[in-house]
Amino acid sequence: MGASNRDYGLALFKWGSNYLEQGNTKEALKAFQQAVAVFSPEVDSSDYLRNPDLEQLAHDPFLLNTIYLKARALHMVYSQTGSEKHLQAASQTYQLSIALLTEMRNAYSSDENRLHITRLTSEILSNAMDCAYEHFNHTPDYHQLQNAFTISEMGKAIVLLGMLHDLKTKQISQLPEEIQTAENGIKHRMHTLEGFIRNERSINNQDPDKLNKWQTELIHLKNRQDSLMQAIHQRFPDYQAMKFDLPSTSLAQLQSSLASDEAVLSYTLGENDLYVFAIMPDTAYFFRKKNRNALFPIAGEYAQAIVRPNVGFLFHSRLSAIPDNSLCALPVFG
């Protein structure tokens, strides 16, 4: 894709974003679909209810954002009209955005790029969770429940990754000190060069020789970093997995691990709401409690109701609760 085509794609993305902010979902969807077609020419630019295959998508941050905002626009149409086809398309588009960002996390070699994708992942998963609940509420089958549970587990994994400090991760994974030193040295020099280049470009009388020298060295360092990260991935997969992989347990796996008298309550805090999965060996329930901000502070009987939803079987079960994010601070989870 040429630079001019990409510029046109970025312009379409910005037009779509502006339309979405104004609540004009029809024009937003047209712009987003045309932008997707610019980034992936095989896509039909006129039918925003259709998506390209994952294999057709480039690892481009603007394309990821375009697909994500397209999903939000489709979900808004469903909220406004109750259109089932828009709900199905929104769910499929969210799943595509999650698949693409997962590929991009694995493809990026630098920690900075991966962590940027991680921050975007949290926003996408929060909105995808809301859509998944509404899709399950509309079509309450096991497939929709599994999809929602997978999104919930990915969100918890991101929180866990954020709590893993780099040094602790390296110690646990037994990454040799000389490799740690080499990795940190490359990273530090790259940061220094990027600062030099940024400062030089900010002045009027730029020195092209300096810029060329620094850019050449930066390219060389990025190649070294790619080679080092590939070697780490091959020789120390535990380190790579602990640092970036998003572990996930399927609903069926969790259910098969439970004894007949056991049950699990799994909580996910979305952007606006609290979601609760009540999971038993042979069945599962999915709840949403609107307005998560109204849940805090929680005390007394209301806290117990949050921890133990009104599902009769749960009162006779050995119960495990899996809180999410700030819910961990509640005394009832202690």
Alpha helices in 202-299 (DSSP H): 208-235, 237-244, 251-256
Q: Which amino acid is at 46?
A: S
List the beta bridge partners of residue 275.
268, 288
Q: Are residues 24 and 158 in the same domain?
A: yes
| Domain of 218, in residue numbers | 176-235
Task: Give a yes or no: residue 241 inside a domain.
Answer: no
Query: How far apart, in whole angstroms, are the C-alpha atoms of residue 134 and residue 306?
Result: 20
* Cβ-contact 148, 132 below 8 angstroms: yes
Residues comprising the chain, all counted: 334
Question: H/E element holding 297?
Answer: none
CATH code: domain of residue 270: 3.30.420
Domain boundary among 130, 163, 196: 163
- Count CB-CB contacts under 10 A for residue 322: 18
Looking at the fold, whether 212 and 264 belong to one and the same domain comes out as no
Q: Is residue 243 part of a domain?
A: no
Write down which residue in 109, 139, 163 finishes a domain. Answer: 163
One pLDDT digit (tens) per residue for the chain, 334 residues: 444 477 888 899 999 999 999 999 999 999 999 999 888 877 777 899 999 898 888 878 888 999 999 999 999 999 999 999 999 999 999 999 988 887 777 665 555 555 566 667 778 988 999 999 999 999 999 999 999 998 888 877 765 555 554 545 555 556 777 887 888 888 788 878 877 887 888 788 889 899 899 989 988 988 888 788 778 777 877 666 665 555 567 888 889 999 888 888 888 887 778 888 888 899 898 988 876 555 544 444 444 545 555 555 555 567 777 776 655 555 444 4
Q: Is residue 171 part of a domain?
A: no
Shared-domain flag, residues 139 and 189: no
Both 57 and 132 in one domain: the answer is yes
Are residue 214 and residue 296 in the same domain, yes or no? Answer: no
Identify whether 202 is part of a domain: yes
CB 44 within 8 A of CB 37: yes
Same domain, 83 and 184: no
H-helix or E-strand spanning residue 138: helix 111-138
145 CB burial (10 A radius; 0-12, 13-18, 19+): buried
Stated pTM of the model: 0.69
Measured distance CA(148)–CA(152) in Å, rounded: 6
Number of domains into which the chain is organized: 3
Considering the domain architecture, whether residues 215 and 282 belong to the same structural domain is answered as: no
Asked if residue 205 and residue 326 are part of one domain, the reply reads no
Please tell me whether residues 226 and 268 are part of one structural domain. no
Question: Does residue 305 sit in the same domain as residue 329?
Answer: yes
Residue 105 lies in a domain: yes
